[in-house]
């Protein structure tokens, strides 16, 4: 995967807008390219979404099309597209600590968090040992800089936001998250016990979607975070996706609500966590 569908759609919409601006100005692509001092193929690349325009490209486009009043909006749109899909290689090139720190401003200004986890315990709920295992695995797979210890500390420090109000956190975990062992058995048991303690916080809602839940209407999807009603972040295999379009943020919010409807909460959720803890110490059957 090289581009998310959301990013592709946004690029296509921007490209169509550039074509409309040129046509409204009564210019052919060749005439615009000549005025801007570009190779004539550049207009085609920009209008077909193959190339994302730079700030300078957009200033030239609007200047030669007598549409300077549109420059600021077009630049903002292009920058949003560029930031929406960030490859892990780019995000983590300065190390895992910087990547962890980059999200702090967003977290600090958010008051309502909604999180769906289909593979791992969300970072703000992780114990130190669980976080160390996760980040070390990421470092070994794709990050040449070894700053795992510092990155772990940043994530631990971020957990202060659970205690600094007014903030409300709603978490939905697939039961498989409780069963996927990360690190040693003792560390995983510690992590699950930590979930039981955090679930008692008055500002935390913890739901678990049972393995045997009826998934006819809502099957597992990618893990995601909804920050207030302003932004969604999704961790993909190859990249970090940021969604800010209101209709797309709303789609994730609706998905969260649908998943919450098939999750169990309170005593039923605690029972599933306790069963996962018990399974870690149960003797393994030998076939």
pLDDT for res 287 = 61
pLDDT digits (tens, 9 = 90+) for 180-237: 999 999 999 999 999 999 999 999 999 999 999 999 989 999 999 999 998 999 998 8
pLDDT digits (tens, 9 = 90+) for 1-59: 344 566 677 888 999 999 999 999 999 999 999 999 999 899 999 999 888 899 899 99
pTM of the model: 0.78
Structural domains of the chain sorted by starting position, each given as residue range(s) with its CATH number in brackets? 5-84 (1.10.260.40), 92-281 (3.30.870.10)
pLDDT digits (tens, 9 = 90+) for 97-145: 999 999 999 999 999 999 999 999 999 999 999 999 999 999 999 999 9
Structure tokens belonging to residue 125: 């709920």
pLDDT for res 3 = 46
Which residue, 234, 216, 224, is CA-closest to 255?
A: 224
Q: Is pLDDT above 80 for 270?
A: yes
CA angle 11, 64, 40 (to 5 degrees): 65
Q: Is pLDDT above 90 for 283?
A: no
How would you label 4-25 residue by residue, b for 16+ Cβ within 10 Å and e otherwise?
A: bebbeebbeebbeebbebbeee
């Amino acid at each position: 995967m090289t581009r998310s569908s959301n990013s592709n759609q946004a690029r296509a919409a921007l490209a169509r807008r550039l074509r409309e601006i040129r046509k409204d100005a009564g210019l052919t692509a060749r005439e615009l390219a000549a005025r801007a001092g570009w190779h004539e193929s550049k207009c085609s690349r920009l209008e077909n979404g193959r190339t994302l325009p730079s700030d300078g490209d957009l200033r030239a486009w609007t200047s030669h099309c007598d549409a300077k009043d549109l420059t600021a909006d077009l630049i903002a749109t292009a920058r949003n597209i560029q930031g929406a899909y960030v490859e892990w290689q780019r995000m983590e090139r300065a190390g895992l600590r910087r990547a962890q720190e980059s999200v702090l401003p967003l977290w600090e200004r958010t008051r309502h968090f909604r999180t769906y986890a289909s593979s791992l315990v969300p970072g703000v709920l992780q114990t130190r040992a669980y976080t160390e295992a996760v980040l070390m695995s990421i470092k070994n797979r794709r990050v040449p800089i070894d700053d795992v210890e510092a990155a772990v500390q940043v994530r631990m420090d971020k957990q202060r936001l659970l205690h600094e109000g007014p903030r409300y956190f709603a978490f939905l975990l697939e039961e498989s998250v409780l069963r996927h062992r990360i690190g040693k058995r003792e560390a995983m048991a510690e992590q699950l016990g930590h979930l039981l303690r955090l679930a008692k916080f008055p500002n935390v809602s913890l739901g678990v979607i049972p393995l045997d839940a009826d998934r006819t209407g809502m099957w597992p999807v990618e893990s995601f975070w909804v920050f207030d009603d302003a932004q969604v972040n999704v961790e993909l295999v190859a990249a970090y996706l940021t969604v800010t379009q209101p209709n797309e943020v709303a789609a994730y919010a609706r998905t969260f609500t649908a998943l919450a409807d098939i999750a169990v909460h309170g005593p039923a959720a605690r029972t599933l966590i306790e069963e996962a803890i018990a399974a870690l110490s149960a003797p393994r059957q030998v076939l």
